[in-house]
Structures are given as C-alpha cells and as structure tokens.
Structure 1
Amino acid sequence: MKSYRITVNGNVYDVTVEETTGNEAATATHPVSNAGSVEIKSSVPGKIIAVEVSQGQAVKAGDTVVILESMKMEIPVVAPQDGTIASIAVSQGNNVENGAVLATMN
C-alpha cells in the first residue's frame, strides 16, 4: 500500500492506493459487448422532415441519418459511429418525442 496526500480545490485528502504486481488482469465491472445494435435517438421533440438513409446502408460516424424540425430549426441527427443501418423506426412527417428511437445500426 502507498499513501498519498492530494489537494483538490483547496481540500486536502489522504489516499491509500493498493500496489499490484502487474500480473493481475484487469476485469470489467460490467459485462462489455462489442456486438449488438446502437440506437440512434432524438435529442429533442420534433417532426421528421427527411430520412436520409435506408435499411442496410453503410454509414460513417457523422453521416446524417434523419433531419428533424424543432422550434422552426432543422436539426440533423447523425450516426454516432461507423456501421450499417439495421432498421429505421420513423418516416417523413412523424412527430417524435425527446429520446425516441429513430433508427438502429450495427
């Protein structure tokens, strides 16, 4: 064990850190999966004015998936990562709430 004294925003803390030999494997505290789908969600309530992708289409991170109108502004909703559009949950003219799933991608 090693002890340290650290200062954060003017507050002093005594911290004890357990030393490892370096042979221990790091383990995740929650199950981690690289596979699966990613939901693309609306960040605001609004009306879908355009669906820019189709099911099965390959997209890159930052590509526009859907354009929605909210408070008289057009807001592009983009792919968060590279992948393939697995499903589209909305159509042009649909009204959506904040957090609504617009599409999923793999």
Structure 2
Amino acid sequence: MKNLKITVNGTVYDVQVEEVGNTPPASISTTPAVVPQPAVAPTPAPAPVKAPAAKADVPADAELISCPMPGTIVSVNVTPGQSVKKNDVLLILEAMKMENEIMAPHDATVAAVHVNKGDSVDSGAPLVSLH
C-alpha cells in the first residue's frame, strides 16, 4: 500500500493505493500525513433584490388602474395630462397569447403612466393613474 496525496479542484485528499503485481511493497511511513485544509471563506449572503421603482409617482387624489393579470405591455395609448373618455383604450396588455384592452372606467385625465411598451407586469401592478 502507498499513501498518496491527491489534489482535486483545490481540495487535498490523503489516499491509500494498493499495488497489484509482483513488485515488492514499498516502505511505508507509520506517521500519519498532516494534510492542510484549504481555508474556506464564508459565502457572502446574496444582495437583496430591490423591487423595481415605479415609473411615476401616484398623485394622492388619483385613481390607480392596476393590471388584472400577468402579461406584457404591447402598446401604451395615453400620455400624462391627456383627457380620456369612458371606454377609451389606455393600453393593450398581452396575456395568455391574447391582447387585452385596458379601458378608462370613466371620463378622466391621465395623471401618470407607470409602464412602457414591452414591460412585463404582474397581476396588481400599477398601469395608469387617472384623476
């Protein structure tokens, strides 16, 4: 038997290997090998994931139109300050391979638009503020 020190990916292993065949056994030291262990630095905790900031602040007196289901914004048809009538299309949301028109619930003025074309949104995410 031979004692060998093997390093694999930076980790040192002390192993014993038996020779097979007609070769005489090699002399073996009876003192155990001291294998230094590599220092392991503690893994830093992952940085907290910040929630995406809202695109625009919601005015205190504004009515918030939120996303009814997760999807992707296909188009935004309004801008802040624009007047809209009941049932005007504010934006188009693609969800489950269908385009869904998000319409104004009543006559109003657009206070803020919180999404851009191409944004992925979750259910309940702010889309548009009206007042």
State the TM bucket, normalised to the shorter chain: 0.5 to 0.7
Match of 1:37 in 2: 62
In the superposition, the TM-score normalised over structure 2's length comes to: 0.53
Structure number with larger C-alpha Rg: 2
Match of 2:80 in 1: 55
Deviation of residue 80 (structure 1)?
1.2
Q: What amino acid is the match of 2:75?
A: A
Question: What pairs with 1:1-106 in structure 2 (closer than 5 Å)?
Answer: 36-106=61-131
CA RMSD of aligned residues (A): 1.2
Runs of 4+ in structure 1 over 2 Å off: none
**Separation (CA, whole Å) in 1 of partners of 2:92 and 2:112:** 16
**Separation (CA, whole Å) in 1 of partners of 2:86 and 2:120:** 25
5+ residue gaps in structure 1? 1-34
5+ residue gaps in structure 2? 1-59
Percent of pairs identical after alignment?
42
Structure having the larger proportion of residues in strand:
1
Deviation of residue 51 (structure 1)?
0.0
**Separation (CA, whole Å) in 2 of partners of 1:43 and 1:55:** 21
Q: What amino acid is the match of 2:61?
A: G
